[in-house]
């Protein structure tokens, strides 16, 4: 991860959009996260102050995320593991390199401590 001046408040990561949903719970379920786990993750994220991104790990270790889009819908995304960045610009550059033809993507953001928790789970 690129160094940032002072302490980083957020980390950013590139994510490939698979589909869009009306809620983060639906997005996580669409990514094959079990419903009870999706409910718990969203409740925990909202208890921390209305998160705009919910990161999860599905069977097999693949990281996925539900990310709030500017229009109010939630993107169900595959996260590129190990691609956490200090700035959204760097994450955007990495996203451009990782996406295949015709794929859409977005940059997700998490509080720095939360990203470290999820990186090793």
**pLDDT per residue over 23-40, tens digit each?**
999 999 999 999 999 999
Report pLDDT for 116.
46
CA distances from 86 to 21, 23, 48, 100 (A): 28, 27, 21, 24
Which helix (H) or strand (E) covers residue 109, if one does?
strand 105-111
* Residue 81 main-chain phi, psi, to 5 deg: -60, 140
Task: Compute the distance between CA of residue 73 and CA of residue 67 in angstroms, rounded to an integer.
Answer: 8
Lowest mean pLDDT, pick from 10-14, 79-83, 117-121: 117-121
- b/e per residue, 25-46, with b = 16+ CB within 10 A? bbbbbbbebeeeebeebbeebe
Find where tokens 């819908």 sit.
Answer: 73
Sign of CA dihedral 48, 50, 52, 58: positive
Report pLDDT for 115.
52
H-helix segments, 1-121: 24-30, 35-47, 88-98, 112-119
Task: Compute the distance between CA of residue 90 and CA of residue 100 in angstroms, rounded to an integer.
Answer: 18
Residue with the larger pLDDT of the pair 59 and 63? 63
Contact 91, 98 (CB under 8 A): no
């Amino acid at each position: 991860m690129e160094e940032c001046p002072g302490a980083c408040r957020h980390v950013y990561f590139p994510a490939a959009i698979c589909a869009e949903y009306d809620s983060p719970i639906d997005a996580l379920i669409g990514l094959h996260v079990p419903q009870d786990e999706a409910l718990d993750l969203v409740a925990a994220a909202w208890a921390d102050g209305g998160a705009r991104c919910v990161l999860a790990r599905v069977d097999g270790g693949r990281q996925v995320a539900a990310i709030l889009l500017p229009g109010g819908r939630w993107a169900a995304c595959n996260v590129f593991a190990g691609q956490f960045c200090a700035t959204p610009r760097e994450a955007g550059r990495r996203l451009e390199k990782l996406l295949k033809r015709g794929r859409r993507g977005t940059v997700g953001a998490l509080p720095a401590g939360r990203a470290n928790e999820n990186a090793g789970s």
